[in-house]
Amino acid sequence: KHKKISQVWWQVPVIPATQEAEAGESLEPGRWRLQRAKIAPFETPSRKQQQKRYLKPRPPPGPRDVPSPGLPVSVPILVQRDAVPGARKLRAVLEKLRLSHQDISKAAKVVNGVVGHLLHRLKCESGFGGVERLHTGSYYEHVKISAPNEFDVMFKLEVPRIQLEEYSDTGAYYLVKFKRNPKENPLSQFLEDEILSASKMLSKFRKIIKEEINNIKDTDVIMKRKRRGSPAVTLLINKEISVDITLALELKTSWPASTKEGLAIKNWLSAKVRQQLRLKPFYLVPKHAKEGNGFQEETWRLSFSHIEKEILSNHGKSKTCCENKEMKCCRKDCLKLMKYLLEQLKEKFKDKKHLDKFSSYHVKTAFFHLCTENPQDSQWDPKDLGLCFDNCVTYFLECLRTEQLKNYFIPGFNLFSSNLIDKTSKEFLSKQIEYERNNEFPVFGEF
């Protein structure tokens, strides 16, 4: 019995996008960008012709066999929607990923209890008295997948009257200094040669949490081993719920100059929305910059997770997108599928360690760029889920092939640069994604 393979190239013939270096938006010399593809005339093949194309599963391609992508188009797609290979399977996967309100509430209640306990203790500590919880992450973005056993929590601390000194030329990492440093400043204890030490502050933050979890009697909480270079303190609650707690400095000033060309949502969510978002505070997390084979432990990295939450909560060009039955899109469904694809591949190849440096943030960043390229709600019609998801896969593959994925807020910061993720790992992931797409994503049914 022949197996039908997922491929949509015959349904939407595309003229390859012209690649050109874009002045002012380049990550570095030679930075390529994708232009919107145009539809070419075609005839829908007969059922017999379709079957001929899917006689045998194709083997995984080599690293250089990744095809050039065709982005979603702004004109109506002239294909039979039921004929899209894998569309029904994708909907079944989304149904499997749907989390019940009861399961989410139960896990969230446990997490909130522990977080509340830790927050109360931190408020009593010198240097952390003004700490508050910032509600960000996939739980609040409503794009959480799989079992509700992983949570991200951010504790924000407003820090006035500071100056930022950019570290390296990425625009993402900074050294923090105080404009004035009176002795009564509670953060003076974390200074290292006039620089607010990220490592010192994170170390004290971690020590307080480690002490306090021993005072939580009604819940089993342990602290997991520190991950090198990670800004998060990871807790395991009741042996099944993982919680990453991250400290963040809140700055209520203008965003750094490195973000000027970022957040390209003018044609998607409007210039007004962009202006309003840029008036909100921004955050710094104690994420150390890569320095040779080690890390610069005094640096802080920009974070805009609260803005990401805002974008995903109000993601449509139309203000009523996904708020009623008449106006819906499949943007979030595509993001969930992309996150799940990466998650399943990481689980499948966890022993090889090729995928250790990839995270859902890479998928989310590529997704935001694709939303910018395709801003119309009609380009994300739920009835075209198969095509939209394939476009997301194609775009991500192109990012891997070119080794270019610019941070959505900091265009000069390439998340796929060779010093962050090696070329071999990117080729390995590209090869596995191609294999999955060519064979209707068998990994979705594993684990």
Cβ-contact 119, 213 below 8 angstroms: no
In angstroms, the CA 255 to CA 286 distance is 18
pLDDT tens, position by position, for the chain (447 residues)?
Answer: 444 444 443 333 333 333 333 333 333 333 333 333 333 343 444 444 444 433 345 555 444 444 444 444 333 333 444 444 467 889 999 988 887 677 777 888 899 999 999 999 999 999 999 999 987 655 544 445 555 578 889 999 999 889 999 998 889 999 999 988 767 789 999 999 899 999 999 999 999 999 999 999 889 999 999 888 789 999 999 998 889 999 999 999 999 999 999 999 999 999 999 999 999 999 999 988 887 777 788 999 999 999 999 999 999 999 889 887 768 999 999 999 999 999 999 999 999 889 999 999 999 999 999 999 999 999 999 999 999 999 999 999 999 999 999 999 999 999 999 989 999 999 999 999 999 999 999 999 887
C-alpha distances out from residue 136 to 26, 267, 343, Å: 29, 25, 20
Half-sphere exposure of 348 (CA within 13 A, CB side): 17
Phi, psi values for residue 395, rounded to 5° = -60, -45
* Residue 403, C-beta contacts closer than 8 angstroms, at least 6 positions apart: 414, 416, 417, 418, 423, 426
Cross-strand partners of 157: 249
Per CATH, the number for 20-95+328-445 is 1.10.1410.40
Per CATH, the number for 101-303 is 3.30.460.90
Residue 425: how many other CB atoms lie within 10 Å: 18
What confidence score (pLDDT) does residue 136 get?
67
Give the tens place of pLDDT for each residue, 104-161. 778 888 999 999 999 999 999 999 999 999 876 555 444 455 555 788 899 999 998 8
Helix (H, G, I), strand (E, B) or coil at 147: coil
Domain ranges of the chain: 20-95+328-445, 101-303
In angstroms, the CA 57 to CA 434 distance is 12
What confidence score (pLDDT) does residue 358 get?
96
Residue 44: how many other CB atoms lie within 10 Å: 12
What confidence score (pLDDT) does residue 149 get?
76
Cβ-contact 285, 231 below 8 angstroms: yes
One-letter amino acid at 396 equals: F
Helices H / strands E in the chain, number of each: 11, 15
Q: Tokens for 164?
A: 């930022």
* Residue 116, C-beta contacts closer than 8 angstroms, at least 6 positions apart: none
What confidence score (pLDDT) does residue 148 get?
58
What confidence score (pLDDT) does residue 49 get?
46
Helix (H, G, I), strand (E, B) or coil at 208: helix
Chain CA centroid to CA 180, Å: 36
In angstroms, the CA 355 to CA 349 distance is 7
Half-sphere exposure of 5 (CA within 13 A, CB side): 20
What confidence score (pLDDT) does residue 146 get?
56
Give the tens place of pLDDT for each residue, 167-199. 988 899 999 999 887 677 899 999 998 999 999
Sign of the CA dihedral running 233, 132, 358, 406: negative
